[in-house]
Amino acid sequence: MSTVRFIDEFRDRTLAARLAEGIAAAADTGRTYQLMEFCGGHTHAIFRYGVQDLLPANVKMVHGPGCPVCVLPMGRIDHALQLAREHGVILLTYGDLMRVPGPERMTLLKAKAEGADVRMVYSAMDALACARANPGREVVFFAIGFETTTPPTAIVLRQAKAEALSNFSVHCNHVLTPPAITSILASASDQESAEAPRLDGFVGPAHVSAVIGYRPFEAFVRDHGRPVVIAGFEPLDVMQAILMLVRQLNDGRCEVENEYTRVVTRDGNLKAQALMADVFELRDSFEWRGLGWLERSALQIRSPYAAFDAEKRFPLKSAAIADNKACECGAVLRGVREPVECKLFATVCTPENPIGSCMVSSEGACAAYYTFGRARPTMAPALADAS
Amino acid sequence: MSDERRRMAGGLDYRHGRIELWHGSGGRAMAQLIEELFETSFDNPFLARRNDQACFEVGAGRLVMTTDGFVIAPLFFPGGDIGCLAVHGTVNDIAMAGARPLYLAVAMIIEEGFPLADLKAIVASMAAAAKAAGVAIVTGDTKVVERGKGDGIFITTTGVGVVPAGVEISAERARPGDAVLLSGSIGDHGVAVLSKRESLAFETELLSDCASLHDLVARMVEAVPGIHAMRDPTRGGLAALLNEIAQQSGVGIALNEDAIPVAPAVRGACELLGLDPLYVANEGKLVAFCAAEDADRLLAVMRAHPLGRDAARIGTVVEDSRRFVQMQTGFGGHRIVDWLAGDQLPRIC
Ligand code: SF4
């Protein structure tokens, strides 16, 4: 007997078809439903599995800013470049960030080719191991991510302190989900209201909610009158969440519902939260690509760990650096523009030669559109011919 | 000869010994390494003549030639090591032309300090793989670089083989209507290697699929000499291969995700890490493009071979001036299967 099983989505496909029927039946043909998936993980799943092919025309997904690489502004990329090029450190970071263009389209990858010591890590723990292995060098971990990747960074900072590592520090770029969602709704309702899509509801984050729980979204729902359904990253999770949102909207309900009960609870992971609270505190304000400066939207390292804070340890110049003028990343991140509406999309800007951050990470909307969906309008006939 | 006696006789000390700079400097140490390790392991009359080249008769027909450099971390992984990989890789590149592989040449660049025991294990693995594939390693070269200037060991293998008359397999020959056949499950090698990367370490019983495919190819070519195109999906996975063929043949490819075999362990690991098996490396699989009317016959031959047991028809070549590879997803939607920009990276969201 062979040990191989064919890709086992037969069952998924039946379930997906059933959910698709459910959504089509529930969706009121007299109106449209504009739903935003906040997380890049959801955006990726929607494109990779072709979820939108299963939705009726009046249910439209708008892609949100939940991609940690995409929302990092130029100024922070510039910090990473300064650390690597001017301060001679070993700079460690997660892979995608290495390809994000900074000022003058410099990237960490190019800096590395020019001789800077930039290395990719898979986990925060790798960074610590690198510091231990290179006692004679300054080692900086350039930490990025939403609440999902924050606890591991906290653990590493605590460990570094316990070991009194003298050559290790963290450049902290951890950001928070709830303020970003709030900002999107705020901007959708004011200055850009003419062009911004109406957002009727949100597919809430998966792994982020595993850490922070869904309680933080209760206040959001109350204050902003938009339903949120927390969903896992599997495509069936996304479909189920869409159905739940459509039903809420039909019923005139506005609640936080949890589709991802196998992982997410109301209060989340209290141990991880305590760990984060011990090591990090809120920044007054932090710049997001596309969303601008948002108050209390990011974390910084608390003073007992100041010795491990790269922003304190190295004199870094902070200049406001404008994005490429033609790049629409900001509008894409706010859900105001679709990637294909950007003039540079697939012409000047491609994953091999990205202009903006949204084309870099596989969780970015531009990269997802390009990689999975750019033949979309003509795709179905070709596949039908083939089978 | 016991280790004890070997050491007394001045033989290589495999237990404690390491590669030193002079093993590559052309002197007596190098001669000893060649004689005791390479000649004994690769054991054939060409090597025994100790020329700087090998001289052999060739029959009528067309020769194919290929070369490949092997750089891998870790050097030893579940189901294989850099040694057998260096043989299988080149044998497969020859076989993909429909050819019978004959001879290999090997160049090794070894870092000073590399354990002799590891080198011995790698050489033994190469010798075994070459023997199983029926190819002789007939000439070679060894260089030693200073510590810090190499990553343990780099191996380059060059191979030659002969193509039977009437066989014309080439990447630009896929035609609209052709069937796309895959010889087995995808992603096994890449996941097996990843599982041993420090910091990603996860438990898996998965072994690399690395294998020489020439025998499978010989059966296939015998059954359907008119196979249009054939290639083995290594780096970049199945997705890269299909895009290459689409590009070179100027066609589109329509895939059916449900038909693509993936081992549960690969699927599980990919889900965990946020990777797509279509982009994960393989070392013992092939994809063949043939006329639709030959597909059933070819598939039957593949399935009758131990290395093609799980072979499947995964798609069809279509007309498409944009040369897109598209896929009906198992989920019921569709998408492009694009080239990968950079490396596939675990998800951080
Ligand atoms: S396509 Fe490129 S340039 Fe345009 S918005 Fe996306 S990342 Fe920016």
DSSP sequence for B150-161: SSSEEEEEEEEE
**CB A349 near ligand 1, within 6 Å:** yes
pLDDT by residue (tens digit) across B189-222? 998 888 877 556 566 678 899 999 999 999 999 9
* CATH class of residue range B3-163: alpha beta
**Does residue B63 sit in helix, strand or coil?**
strand
The rounded percent of chain A whose pLDDT value lies above 70 is 91
Residue A5 located in a structural domain: no
pLDDT digit string (tens) for B157-199? Answer: 999 999 988 899 999 999 999 999 999 999 999 988 888 775 5
Angle at A68 between CA A332 and CA A159, to 5 degrees: 170
Residue A32 has pLDDT above 90, yes or no: yes
Residue with more model confidence, A10 or A77: A77
pLDDT of residue B347: 57
Q: How many helices (H) and strands (E) does chain B have?
A: 11, 14
The alpha carbon of residue A252 is apart from the nearest alpha carbon of chain B, in Å, by: 30
How much is the average pLDDT of A287-307? 94
In terms of average pLDDT, the best of B44-53, B118-127, B330-339 is B118-127
Whether the CB-CB separation of B23 and B29 falls below 8 Å is answered with yes
Query: Of A100, A60, A53, A54, whose CA–CA distance to A81 is shortest?
Result: A100
Name A260's Cβ contacts closer than 8 Å, sequence gap at least 6. Answer: A206, A209, A210, A230, A231, A232, A237
pLDDT at A9 over 50: no
Atom of ligand 1 nearest to the CA of A349: 2
Contact A350 B264 (CB under 8 A): no
* Domain edges within chain B: 3-163, 179-336
The answer, for B311 touching chain A at a CB cutoff of 8 Å, is no
> What's the pLDDT score for residue A1?
33
The CB of A364 under 6 Å from ligand 1? The reply is no
Residue of A nearest to B332 (CA): A13
For residue range A227-246, list pLDDT tens digits in order: 999 999 888 999 999 999 99
Residue of higher predicted confidence among B101 and A379: B101
> Does position A88 have pLDDT exceeding 80, yes or no?
yes
Measured in angstroms, the CA of A345 and the nearest CA of chain B are apart by 15
Report the range of poorest mean pLDDT among A263-272, A299-308, A356-365.
A356-365
CATH of domain B179-336: 3.90.650.10
CA dist B17 and B116 (Å) reads: 5
Distances (CA, A) of B324 to A191, A350, B274, B314, B317: 40, 15, 24, 16, 10
**Contact criterion met (CB below 8 Å) for A139 and A92:** yes
Q: How far is CA A171 from the centre of its chain?
A: 18
The model's confidence at residue B348, banded by pLDDT at 50, 70 and 90, is: low
The DSSP bridge partners found for residue A39 are: A66
Task: Judge whether A156 lies within some domain.
Answer: yes
Q: How many CB pairs under 8 A join A and B?
A: 161
Q: What is the mean pLDDT of residues A165-187?
A: 91
For strands B312-318 and A59-66, give the pairing: unpaired
Q: Which of A63, A77, A344, A360 to mutate to test the pocket of ligand 1 (most atoms within 8 A of CB)?
A: A344
**Averaged pLDDT for residues B93-100:** 95
CATH number at residue A255: 3.40.50.11740
Do A5 and B330 count as a contact with CB atoms less than 8 A apart? no
Partners of B264 on chain A (C-beta within 8 Å) are 5, 8
pLDDT at position A362: 78
Residue of B nearest to A95 (CA): B345
Q: How far is CA A255 from the centre of its chain?
A: 23
CA atoms within 13 A on the CB side of A117: 12
Q: Is A356 in the pocket of ligand 1 (CB under 6 A)?
A: yes
Which pLDDT score, from 0 to 100, does residue B333 have?
Answer: 86
Looking at the 3D structure of chain A, how many domains does it have?
1
Closest residue on chain B to A46 (Cα): B333
Partners of A40 on chain B (C-beta within 8 Å) are 349
pLDDT reported for residue A4: 46
Name B103's bridge partners.
B136, B160
What percent of chain A stands above pLDDT 90?
Answer: 60
Whether the CB of A360 sits within 6 Å of ligand 1: no
pLDDT value for B3: 45
- Average pLDDT rounded to a whole number, residues B318-324: 92
CB B133, CB B212: distance < 8 Å: yes
**Spatial distance between the Cα atoms of A364 and A372, rounded to a whole number of angstroms:** 12
Band the pLDDT of B50: cuts 50, 70, 90: confident
Ligand 1 atom, smallest distance to A370 CA: 1
In whole angstroms, give the CA distance from residue B327 to residue A347. Answer: 23
Question: How many angstroms is it from A292 CA to the middle of ligand 1?
Answer: 17
Lowest mean pLDDT among A112-116, B193-197, B239-243: B193-197
pLDDT in tens, B8-39: 446 788 888 899 888 888 888 888 888 889 88
Task: Name which of A354-363, B265-274, B301-310 the model is least confident about.
Answer: B265-274
Q: Is the pLDDT assigned to residue A262 strictly greater than 90?
A: no
Three-state SS letters, chain A = CCCCEECCCHHHHHHHHHHHHHHHHHCCCCCCEEEEEEEHHHHHHHHHHCHHHHCCCCEEEEEEEECCCCCCCHHHHHHHHHHHHHCCCEEEECHHHHHCCCHHHCCHHHHHHCCCEEEECCCHHHHHHHHHHCCCCCEEEEEEECCCCHHHHHHHHHHHHHCCCCCEEEEEEEECHHHHHHHHHHHHHCCCCCCCCCCCEEEECCHHHHHHCCHHHHHHHHHHCCCEEECCCCHHHHHHHHHHHHHHHHHCCCCEEECCCCCCCCCCCHHHHHHHHHHEEECCEEEECCCEEEECCEEEECHHHHHHEHHHHCCCCCCCCCCCCCCCHHHHHCCCCCHHHCCCECCCEECCECCCHHHCCCCCHHHHHHHHHCCHHHHHHHHHHHC
Q: In the predicted model, what is the mean pLDDT of chain A?
A: 88
Q: Which atom of ligand 1 is nearest to the CA of A332?
A: 5
Q: By percentage, how much of chain B surpasses pLDDT 70? A: 93
- Subunit contact A7:B267, Cβ cutoff 8 A: yes
User: Residue A3 falls within a domain, yes or no?
Assistant: no
Residues 6+ apart with CB under 8 A from A86: none
Does residue A376 have a pLDDT over 80? no
Report CB contact under 8 Å: A13, B257: no
CB atoms B349 and A363 under 8 Å = yes
The pLDDT value recorded for residue B2 is: 44
- What is the pLDDT, as a whole number, of residue A383? 58
What pLDDT is stored for residue A26 in this prediction? Answer: 95
Whether A8 maps to a domain, the answer reads no
The predicted structure's pLDDT at residue B203: 67
Q: How many CA atoms lie less than 13 Å away from B153 in the CB half-sphere? A: 27
Measured between CB atoms, does B62 come within 8 Å of chain A?
no
What CA dihedral angle connects A20, A23, A26 and A31, to 10 degrees?
-120
Q: What is the pLDDT of residues B285-304, one digit of tens each?
A: 999 999 999 999 999 999 99
For residue B76, is pLDDT > 90?
A: yes
Asked whether the beta carbons of residue B346 and residue A54 sit closer than 8 angstroms, the reply is no
**Omega prior to B74 cis, within 30 of 0:** yes
Given the structure tokens 């002197």, which residue do they identify?
A: B27
Contact call for B263 and A5, based on CB within 8 A: yes
Nearest to A6 among B259, B322, B329 (CB): B259
Closest Cα to residue B242, out of B178, B193, B164, B195? Answer: B178
Which site among B276, B331, B343 would you substitute to test the A interface, given the most A Cβ atoms closer than 10 Å to its Cβ? B331
- Identify the pLDDT of residue B6: 45
Q: What is the pLDDT of residue B26?
A: 80
Q: Which of B269, B207, B282 is nearest to B238 (CA)?
A: B282
Measured in residues, chain B has a length of 349
A119 CB-near residues (< 8 Å, 6+ apart): A90, A91, A92, A130
Comparing A194 with A63, which gets the higher pLDDT?
A: A63
What does the alpha-carbon distance between residue A37 and residue A201 come to, in Å, rounded to a whole number?
9
Minimal Cβ distance to B335: which of A48, A363, A385: A48
User: pTM here?
Assistant: 0.81
Could you read off the pLDDT of A36-70 as tens digits, one per residue? 999 988 998 898 888 988 999 999 999 988 888 89
CB neighbours of B192 closer than 8 A, spacing ≥ 6?
A: B77, B78, B79, B204, B206, B207, B208
User: Which residue does chain A place closest to B330, by CA atoms?
Assistant: A9
| Closest CB to B336 among A8, A350, A374 | A374
pLDDT tier at B1, thresholds 50, 70, 90 = very low
Does residue A267 surpass a pLDDT of 50? Answer: yes
Helix (H, G, I), strand (E, B), or coil: what is residue B77?
strand
Q: Is the pLDDT of residue A159 over 80?
A: yes
Nearest CA in chain A to B251: A382
CB A290 less than 6 A from any atom of ligand 1: no
Which whole number is the average pLDDT over A168-197? 80
Judge if the beta carbon of residue A342 lies within 6 A of ligand 1. Answer: yes
The reply to whether A365 falls in a domain is yes
- In angstroms, what separates the C-alpha of B134 from chain A's closest C-alpha? 27
Whether residues B199 and A13 touch (CB distance < 8 A) is answered with no
Residue A7 clears pLDDT 80, i.e. is over it = no
Q: Is the model's pLDDT at A282 over the cut of 90?
A: yes
Q: Which domain holds residue A261?
A: 14-387
